[in-house]
Structures are given as structure tokens and as C-alpha cells.
Amino acid sequence: MIDASGRNRQTRHLLTRMAMIELALIGIGTGNPDHVTLAAVRALNDADLILLPRKGDSKADLVDLRRLLCERLLESDRPARIVEFDLPTRQDSSDYLKAVEEWHSAIAAVWGDMVDTHLPDGGRAALMIWGDPSLYDSSLRIADRLSERGKPVEVRVIPGITSLQVLTAEHRVPLNTIAEPVLITTGRRLRERGWPADVPSVAVMLDGGSAFSSVPPKDIYIWWGAYLGMDKQCLMAGWLSETGPQITQRRAELRQEFGWIMDIYLLAKQ
């Protein structure tokens, strides 16, 4: 009878023999190490290679957190190789979708180069994904491109706590009203399309510039949060007509202070 550790060794041997790459996309929550699940801890410790993306000096907090998680969560007798790399940046373009497509291709190429260099005979690679890989994150789409390089890749997803969950938890509010739907959208779409019909609650992510200010504020309540789960977390809530301008001002102050901002909010008709 083979125990769990024996099965893991057999699986590792098989991956190596076939030059197969198992890529674990590990959701790590929103910045609080306490939000990392036990499944995520196990996946990190099973990895042969952990890739840490750097997004420039202005977002050094993001790679610093990943370094901290490696320091706290990796077991000393199972040392994975930790490799940092510079993440390509998306070029500004009037054709947003084309720019994103090219950006994803560039990221996939970097991932592939890292894997080819550090796992030439196959093995287990891991990437720590902010929040969860399924919600407004492109890691799964980028991972699909790796197979185009001719190297077999088996993708594994470990879910994480999303910023949307942390937002509602910190404000102590439900995401939806009774028997009603909620829409999750982006700041760009809210600004371009306005409030969607027949939806009483709208959660907005990836908003680069206070898209809520484009919504007629009558009878709308907003729950807003920035840097959720981190030491610098900031929360505000109130009627959009009164609180919206205050949030816009606070966003500008926080961006000036820290050099970057990551925020999310929930709007609801009352």
C-alpha cells in the first residue's frame, strides 16, 4: 500500500519523465496572510518552482507580500526554487482588447521562458494569484497559451478569497438583496454603458477612475474599500450623492501616498 507521500513521489517522477509541467495557479486572497487557505499552503509546498512577478517599484508591495508568504508558509525541508521576474506592461492603446491580447501573449512568453529555464525536465510550477484566478484575472487565459509553445502543461487551480468577499465582510453587508441578482462588472463598462437594467446591486472592479461618478446618484448607496486585507486598508460607505466625491478625493490622496491603488465597491439602489 502506497501512502500519500509515496503517491506524490510517483506523480513527481512521472511528470519529470514526460517533461510535463504542472502549473498551479494559487489564489492567495487580498493581502492578508490569514486569508491563504490550507489548500494553497499545500500547493506551495508541493511546488518545485515558485514564480514571483515584479510590477515595478510603484507596486513593490505586491511582490513583497508574495515574498512574505513564501517565508512564512514554505516548510524548511521542502525548499522550492523561488524565481522573480519582471512582468510585461500593457501598452496604452485606443484598441483596448488588442492591447490586452498582445500583453497576455508577452506574459505567456515570459512564463514559458521561466519554466524552460528552471524546469527543463518538467516538474511543478506555481504562481500566486491575487484574489482568485476565476474573477477578473487573466492567469487562466495566459496559461492556455503555454501549450502553444509545444510543452505539455497541466493547469491546476486553487481558489482564493476575493476582494469582493472581503469588501462585504468588512462592511458587514450581504452582496445581494433578498431574491435579487447582483452584477459584477468593471469601471470601464459602468462608465460606458451606465447602470444595467433590472439589476438592483452592482459590484465594480478594475475601476481606474471613480466610474461611480457617472451614475445618477439618486437613491444609490455605496460601500467602497481600498487595499482590502492589507495594513493600509481604507473603507468608506454612504449615499453616493454625498460619499462619492469624498471617495474620489480619498482615492487621489491614497494613490499619491502609496504610488498605486487597488479598490472595489458595491452600489445598491435603496
26-65 residue pLDDT tens: 999 887 889 999 999 999 999 999 999 987 765 677 788 8
pLDDT at 6: 54
Residues 6+ apart with CB under 8 A from 167: 203, 223, 225, 228, 264, 265, 266
pLDDT at 30: 85
pLDDT at 200: 94
Q: Which residues of the chain have pLDDT under 50?
A: 1-2, 13-17
pTM of the model: 0.84
- Cα gap 228→206, rounded to integer Å: 14
pLDDT at 91: 80
pLDDT at 15: 45
pLDDT at 17: 47
The H-or-E segment that residue 170 falls in is helix 163-171
Domains in the chain, start-ordered, CATH in brackets?
4-158 (3.40.1010.10), 163-269 (3.30.950.10)
pLDDT at 50: 95
C-alpha dihedral sign at 165, 135, 147, 107 = negative
- Residue 227 DSSP class: S
